[in-house]
Structure 1
Amino acid sequence: MSLTLEERSEALAAAVDAGDGRLPPALVDGARALLLRVAQRVGLSSEHTVVALAGATGSGKSSLLNALVGMDLAETGVQRPTTSHALAVVVAADDEGARDATRRASPRPDTAPGAVGPLLDWLEVDRRHTVVASREVGGGSHRRRSDRRAPTAGTVPPGLVLLDLPDHDSVVVQNRFRAERLVDRADLLVWVVDPQKYADAALHERYLRTLVGHDDVVVLALNQADRLSAAEADAVLADLRRLAALDGLTRARTLAVSARTGEGVDALRGLVARAVERREATTQRYGADLRAVAETVVRACGEPTPSRARASTDTLLDALEDAAGVPTVVDAVRRSAVRQARARTGWPPVRWLARLRPDPLRRLRLAPRPERQAELTRTSLPAAGPGPRALAATAVREHARDALAGAPDAWVLAARASLDVAALPDALDHAVARTPLLPERPVWWWRALGAVQWALLAAALVGGLWLAGLALLAYLRLDEPVTPVWGPAPAPTVLLVGGVLAGVLLAALGALAAHVGARRRARAARRRLRASVREVAQRLVLDPLAAQVDALTRCRSEATRAAAR
C-alpha cells in the first residue's frame, strides 16, 4: 500500500535526523527544504492544482496559455520574450464570481478555506487573473452552469492554477531563478518545446534529468507543430520521446500542439482537466520529490554488510587488556597469592622469610582494600608502551570499521570521532584499581594447615625439650626416668624428628597447593579484570559505536520506507 505524503514525509524526516552529521550537508539541507516545502504545500489549498508552463525563449508558452484558457491574458512577443515575471490564471467555479480577466492582481490576505490567495502568495506570483470554468475555449460569453458535472475536454476546469513561467534559459539570472523556484513548486509540469530547441542540452541536463521518477507529472508539449509536416512532426515527437527516455522519463506524456492553429490544444486541455479533477497531481509531484531524495539518502547510507563486530570484540578486549597492564596484574595476583599462602602455611620457623618479600600487588597499589578507597586509588602500573598503545588504537579503529562495514567513509569517520579514545588510559587504570583481585580474608584451608603446622612445631619442641632434659640428667649422672618407646624410637625422638619432618613435608604440600590455588585465583582475577575492561570498552567504544550503527540502520530503513512506491 502506497504511503501518504504525511507518512512519506515523516519517514524521510526521521532518516535525515538519524543521518545528520554523517550525510552530506547539502543533501540534509535539501531534504529539509523539501520537507518544509511539502508541509507548506499540503497546508495550502487542496482544491487547486498548480500547472506550470515552462520552456525556453521563443517556445510559445504565453501563446499556449492563451490558447488553453481561450483568452489573451498573457502578453506575447515576436522579436524577444516578454515573460520576466510569472503569470497565474486561476480558473474558478461559476458561483465564485467572475473577475476582471485583464486586471493585475496584487497579493492580498485571504483566510477563506481552500482559498487560492495564500497559495499564490506562497508561489510568489503577483500577476493574477481569474476566469470562470464555464468559459468556452476560443471566446464566447459567460453562462451559468446548471449542473456540477466535470467539464469536458473543451472547457477549462475549475480548481486550475495555470502558470506562465519566465524562460528557463533567460539571459537575466533573476528570471531563471524565478522559473526554477516555480518548477520546484508546481504540481504538474508542462514543458513547452519547439522544433528548434527540443533537444537543447540545458533543458535535458539541468531540468528533465533531475525529474527522474516524476513521469506522472511531466508533460512534453511540442509547440509550433504547424510549422512541420505530419511526417516531420511524428519524427520530432519520436526523437523527443527517445531523449526523454534517456533522461529517465520513459512514461512522460508527449504531444504535438500549435497555439496558433489550435492543433493538440484540446488534448492538452483534457490532460490538464483530468489532473485537476482527480486532484492527484500534488500527491504525485511531491511524492516523487520525496522518493527521489529518499533514494539519494539510501545511496548515501551505503550497502552495510553483515557486521563482524562480535568477532572483533574479543580482539578489542585483548588489546585493551594489554594496554591496561592486565597480564602484569594477573601475574602479580598469582605471585601474591603464593606469598600469602606460604606466609600462612609454611613451616613456622622459616615462614617469616616469606613475609620479608614485598607483596607484588602492594607494589602496584592493588592490595585488597575497602571499595570506597579503591574507587579513589590509582595504580602504580607502568604506562603502556608504544606497542600496546598502538595495538589498542588499531583495535578500536578496526572494531569501528567492522561495526560499520559497508558504510560510507563519512559514517566511519563520524563513528571514530564519537569515541573518546583519549580517556581510555585513565578509565582502564581506574577499572583495574577498583577490581577486587584477592579475597581480603585468608582461605579456610590456610588456617587449618597453619594450625596443624603449629601443632607439629609444638610436638617437635616438646620432643626436643624432652631429649634435652634427658641429656641434662645424663650429664649430671642422675637417674633417668623410664622413656616410653613409640615404634622403633623413643617418644621424644619421635616427637622431635616426626614433628620437624611432618612440618617440612606439610609445608611442601602446602606450597604445591598454594601454586595450584594461586593459578586458579589468577584466572578468576583475570575474568574480573576482563569484565572491568569490558565495562570501559562498553562505555567508551561499544555503546557509541552501537549508537552510530543504530543511526545508520534507522536512517537507511526510514529512507527505504520513504522511497517505496
Structure 2
Amino acid sequence: MDGPNASAEPSVVDPLTVRVEALGELLGLSRTRISPDELAESSELLARVGERRRLSLDHTVVAMAGATGSGKSTLFNALTGLELSATGVRRPTTSRPVACAWQPERAAGLLDRLGVAPQDRYARYGLRDMSAPVPAETGAERELEARPQGRPERQEHVLPCLPGQSGAPDGASHCSVGDGAEAGRDLGDVKEQSLDGLVLIDLPDHDSAATGHREQVDRLLRLVDVVVWVLDPEKYADAALHERYLRPLAGHADVTVLVLNQVDRLPGDTADLVLDDLRRLLDEDGLAVGEHGEAGAVVLAASALTGQGVPDLRAVLAQIVSERAAAGRRLAADMDRMASGLQPLYVGEGGAGLTDPAREEFVDRLADAVGAAGAGQSAEKEWSSAAWDACGTPWSRLLGERAGSAGCSRFVRKMTGSLGRRTNGPRWAEVRPPAQLAKEQSGPSGLRPTASRPVIDEAVRGLSADAARGLPVPWARAVRDAARRGGEGLPAALDAAAVRARPRTPERPGWWSVAAAVQWLLMALALAGVVCLSAVGSGSLDMSWWPPLVTVAVGGVGGPLVSGTCRIAARGPARRYGQAAERRLRDAAADCGRARVLEPVAAELMRYREVREQYAVVAGSAPASARLLPAGRPSDRRTGGVPAPAGNRGDRLSHSSE
C-alpha cells in the first residue's frame, strides 16, 4: 500500500481476530452436539470480547481490587492525586465502584459497560461528573472547579496547585495538604509518565460483608483489562483470596499486578520475608513469580500513606497504558483459559476416523447377516445341478433321478427350457404381484431373505465403538447416536436389498444343447443296438451279433461319459455364477450399510475434525502463518500470539526505599 501510513498497515490479520472468528465457528458447529450449559462460558466470552473490541481500545481499564482494610482506596487516591474514593475505619468503606479517567473522551462507553454510576465517574483533568461535557479552558488549566452532585466536598484535602506555585513540584499539576499524607506527592512529570488513556476503577472489597459486593466485584473483574491486587501483610495469604481469585488468574500474569501495601507497618527486614512468602504463594498459584525464572505478574511493595512504591506503581501503569495492548492481552488470556476448559470437549486421546479394517469388518458382518456366502454356494450348486440335468442322459431325465428334487426343479426348468433352445429365464427383480412373488419365493431356492438382526446389531455396535474410540465424550456420543439411528432401519433395508440382489437366471449355454443332442443320439444308438440284438437272437435278422453289440455299448457307455465330461466343464461357470451372486448380495449389503450407517458416522467424524481444527485456532495452536502479528509487533508464545508488555515481565520485586 502506498502512502505515508503504509508501514503501519498489518501484514496479516490480527491473531485475536482470527481466534474470535474461530470461536464463533466452533460454537456454531457444536451447539447441537454439546449442551448449552457446557458452552455457556464460551458464549459469554464471545459476547464479552465483541463488546470490548467495539469500545475504545485507546483506553486501558485498570481495576484496583483488595480485601477489607487493604488500603486500596487510599492507594487509588494516591495514584489519582485526588481524594475521590472514601477512606476510613468504617467497613466496608467502598460501597460501589469509583472511576477516574485520564483523557476521558470516548471512555463513557467503557464505564457504561462496567456499570459505574454517573455520579462516581471523574475526569483526571477536572473534578467533574463525566456524564457532562468538560469545556475547554483558556489560559492556565483550572482544576477541581466542581464536585459531583451528592458527594461531600473534600477541598480541604486537595487544592489546585498550578506549576510554579508555592508547594507545587516543578511540572506537577497537583499538591497535597491538610492531613500530612504524601499520597499526591512525587508522581513524576506528566510528560514522562503520562497516564493518558487510563481508566482506574476502585472496586468494593471482595470479602465485604455487605450483600452484593462480592457479586459486583466478580462481574467487574471479568470486564476490566488489568487487575491491580492490593494485599496487606495480614491477609496476603488468605486461602479464599488465592483459591477464588488468584489461582484462576494463572494465565493472566501479563495483566495482573500485585501490590503488597502497608509495608510501612513491617519492621526491619520483615517486609522482605513477607514478600518472599507472597512470591512462594503466587508461584503455587501459577502466576510464576520468582525462583523459576518464568514470565509472571509484577509484584511491588508500597505504602499508600507514606508514598513508598507509589511512583513505581504509577510507572508500571504508565507503561501498560502507553502500549495500548492490555485489552488484547486480557482477551487473549481469557481465550486461553476458556480453551483450556473446553479441551476435554474437543481433544480426545487419539485420532478420529474410521480405519479401513473397521469398514471392511462392518461390511463382512453385514454380508454374514444377509447370508451372502451361503447364497453364493447355493447359486453355484443350482447352476451345477442345472448343467447336470441339461447334459445328463435321457434315462436320468425320464426316471427323474436328477430333476426330481424340489430344491432345484424350478431353477432347472428355467435353465433347461425346451431341448436345444436357448432361453433367458425371468429376472428375479421383475415387478410381480406380491402374492405371485411370495409364491415364487417358496422352497429352499426361493426363500424370502431375512437378515439376522443380532448380527446386524453387533456389526453396528462394533463400528460405532471403533469410530468413537479416542473421541471426546460429546462427539463419541454423537457418533454412537448416528450409528444407532442408522441401524434401526438397517434390517428391513437389507431384506429389501437382498430381494433385489437375487441371482439372475443366466442364459442357457450353447454347449448344453449340443450335449443334450449327443445324449439323445447315443440313446438312439443304444436302442437301435438293442433292437438289432433282439432280431439277431430271434433269427429274424441274419447278421453278426458284434455290430449291434458295439452299438449298444457305445450308446450305453457314451451317455454317462458325456454327462461326466459336461459336469467337469460346468464347474468353472458354476463357480463364477456363485461368486457373482455372493458379490452382488455383498455389494447390496455394503450399499445399505454405507448409506444408513457409514455415511452418517463419517459426517459426524468430519464435523468433529472441523471443530477440532477450529479449536486449535481458538487455543492458539494453529499454524504460525495464521497467528502472525501486525508488522513490527513481536509475538508472545504464552498468550497465543498477543504481544506482551515489554519490561513488565519476569521476577519484578520493586522497592522505593532508595
Which TM-score bucket, shorter chain as reference? Answer: 0.7 to 0.9
Q: Which residue type is aligned with residue 315 of structure 1?
A: E
- TM-score when normalising by structure 1: 0.82
Pick from 598, 601, 611 the counterpart of residue 545 of structure 1.
Answer: 601
Moved more, 279-288 or 160-169: 160-169
Describe the shift of the 1:508–1:37 C-alpha distance in structure 2 as closer, same or farther (beyond 3 A): same
**Residues 1:272 and 1:153: Cα distance change in structure 2 (over 3 Å):** farther
Instruction: Output one character per residue of 1:197-232: Cα deviation in whole Å (capped at 9) or x when no partner.
Output: 111111111111111211100111112222223522
User: Which residue does 1:107 correspond to in 2?
Assistant: none
Identify the residue that residue 371 of structure 2 maps to in structure 1.
Answer: 325
How far 1:550 sits from its partner (Å)? Answer: 2.8
- Tell me what 1:256 maps to: 301
- Alignment-derived partner of residue 302 in structure 1: 348
- Of 495, 500, 508, which aligns to 1:434? 500
**Aligned position for 2:610:** 554
1:412 maps onto 2:476 in alignment: yes
**2:512 match:** 449
The one of 95, 109, 129 aligned to 2:122: 129
The CA deviation at 1:162 is 1.2
For residue 56 of structure 1, what is the aligned residue in structure 2? 67
Partners of 1:474 and 1:292 in 2: how far apart?
Answer: 114
Deviation at 1:548, TM superposition (A): 3.0
Matched residue type, 1:191: W
Q: Which runs of 5+ in 1 are unaligned?
A: 97-114
Query: 1:333-385, CA deviations, whole angstroms, 9 ceiling, x for partnerless residues?
Result: 2232223323433334434744543457989xxx9726564999898556556
1:86-105 to 2 correspondences below 5 Å: 86-92=97-103
Query: SS state of the match for residue 418, structure 1?
Result: helix
Report what 1:117 is aligned to: 108
Check if 1:512 corresponds to 2:568. Answer: yes
SS where residue 54 of structure 1 aligns? strand
Shift of 1:537: 2.4
Query: Aligned partners of 1:384, 1:63: CA distance in 2, in Å?
Result: 82
Distance apart, 1:522 and its partner CA:
2.1
Give distance in 1, aligned partners of 2:397 and 2:212. Answer: 97
Q: Measured at CA, do residues 64 and 463 of structure 1 come closer, stay the same or move farther in structure 2, by a change above 3 Å?
A: same
Q: Could you tell me which amino acid in structure 1 is paired with residue 377 of structure 2?
A: D
User: Which residue pairs with 1:111 in the alignment?
Assistant: none
Tell me, in whole angstroms, the C-alpha distance in 2 between the residues paired with 1:139 and 1:498.
Answer: 141
Matched residue, 2:381: 335
Letter of the aligned partner of 2:461 in structure 1? Answer: R
Cα distance in 2, alignment partners of residues 523 and 116 from structure 1 = 80
| Maintained 8 Å contact 1:332/1:361 | no
**Hey, what does 2:201 align to over in structure 1?**
163
* Partner-residue secondary structure (3-state), 1:161: strand
Check conservation: 1:256, 1:264, Cα contact below 8 A.
Answer: yes
Could you tell me whether the CA contact under 8 Å between 2:56 and 2:110 is conserved in 1? yes
CA drift at 1:497? 4.2
Query: 2:417: which partner in 1?
Result: none
Q: Which moved more, 1:180-189 or 1:335-344?
A: 335-344
Contact 1:68–1:156 at 8 Å: present in 2 too?
no
1:11 to 16, 22, 28: 22
Aligned to 2:134: none
Partners in 2 of 1:44 and 1:272 — Cα distance?
Answer: 20
Match of 1:45 among 56, 61, 79: 56
SS in 2 for 1:92: coil
- Contact 1:374–1:434 at 8 Å: present in 2 too? no
**Which amino acid in 2 is paired with 1:200?**
D
Inter-partner Cα distance in structure 2 for 1:402 and 1:210: 37
What pairs with 1:478-493 in structure 2 (closer than 5 Å)?
Answer: 489-490=546-547
Instruction: Determine if the alignment matches structure 1 residue 400 to structure 2 residue 464.
Output: yes
User: 2 CA distance for matches of 1:189 and 1:496?
Assistant: 117
Equivalent residues of 2:428, 2:502 under 8 A apart: no
User: Per-residue displacement from partner, 1:26-58 (whole Å, max 9, x unpaired)?
Assistant: 432211211111111111111111111112222
Q: Say if 1:91 and 1:348 are closer, same or farther in 2 by CA, change over 3 A.
A: farther
1:72-131 CA distance string (max 9 Å, x none): 1122231211323222222117xx6xxxxxxxxxxxxxxxxxx22222222222232222
Larger relative helix fraction: 1
Distance 1:355 1:463, change over 3 A: closer
Residue in structure 2 matched with residue 200 of structure 1 by the alignment: 238
Partner Cα distance (2:519, 2:405) in 1: 25
CA contact (8 A) 1:302 1:408 kept: yes
The 5-angstrom pairing of residues 488-499 of structure 1 reads: 489-490=546-547, 497-499=553-555
Please give the residue correspondences for 1:224-239 in structure 2 after superposition, counting only pairs within 5 Å. 224-229=262-267, 231-239=269-277
- The answer to whether residue 56 in structure 2 is matched with residue 73 in structure 1 is no
More deviation in 467-476 or 554-563? Answer: 467-476
In the TM superposition, what is the alpha-carbon distance from 1:138 to its structure 2 partner?
7.4
- Which amino acid in structure 1 is aligned with residue 337 of structure 2? A
Task: Give the superposition deviation at 1:261.
Answer: 1.9
Count, aligned residues:
524
Q: Which residue of 2 aligns with 1:186?
A: 224
TM-score by length of 2: 0.71
Q: Which position in structure 2 is the counterpart of 1:103? A: none
Residues 1:35 and 1:358: Cα distance change in structure 2 (over 3 Å): farther
SS at match of 1:71: coil
With 346-355 and 253-262 compared, the bigger mean Cα shift is at: 346-355
- C-alpha separation between the residues in 1 aligned to 2:316 and 2:245? 22
CA contact (8 A) 2:63 2:228 kept: yes
Aligned CA distance change for structure 1 residues 348 and 405 (closer, same or farther; 3 Å): same
2:251, 2:408 → 1: CA distance? 72
Question: Which residue identity is paired with 1:180?
Answer: D
182 and 503 in structure 1: CA distance in 2 versus 1, 3 angstrom threshold = same
From 569, 583, 592, the counterpart of 1:527: 583
What SS does the corresponding residue of 2:304 show, helix, strand or coil?
A: coil
Cα distance change on mapping 1:331 and 1:459 into 2, 3 Å: closer
Q: Distance in 2 between matches of 1:246 and 1:306?
A: 36
Distance between the aligned counterparts of 1:502 and 1:397, measured in 2? Answer: 59
1:374–1:322 Cα change, 3 Å: farther
The residue identity in structure 1 corresponding to 2:388 is: R
Secondary structure of the 1:254 match is: strand
SS of residue paired to 1:275: helix
Of 282, 297, 301, the residue aligned with 2:327 is: 282
Partners of 2:30 and 2:492 in 1: CA distance? 32
- Cα distance change, pair 199–346 in 1 and its aligned pair in 2 (3 A): same
Q: Deviations over 1:399-441 (max 9, x none)?
A: 3333333223443232111112222211222222222534x33
CA contact (8 A) 1:324 1:425 kept: no
Range with bigger deviation, 190-199 or 345-354: 345-354
- Helix, strand or coil at the partner of 2:303: coil
Matched-pair contact (CA < 8 Å) for 2:256–2:297: yes
Q: Could you tell me how far 1:156 is from its partner in structure 2?
A: 5.2
Q: How does 1:464-483 map to 2 (within 5 A)?
A: 464-465=527-528, 468=531
Partner Cα distance (2:112, 2:61) in 1:
13
TM-superposition CA deviations, 1:127-175 (whole Å, max 9, x none): 32222399899764478x9xxxx97587551211111122222234422
- 1:12 deviation in Å? 3.0
Shift of 1:177: 1.4
How far did 1:282 drift?
A: 0.7
Unaligned runs of 5+ residues in structure 2 are 1-11, 127-140, 145-156, 164-170, 172-187, 289-295, 412-424, 442-446, 621-639, 641-658
Query: Is the contact made by 1:323 and 1:384 (CA closer than 8 Å) also made in structure 2?
Result: yes
- Is the Cα contact below 8 Å between 2:394 and 2:523 reproduced in 1? no
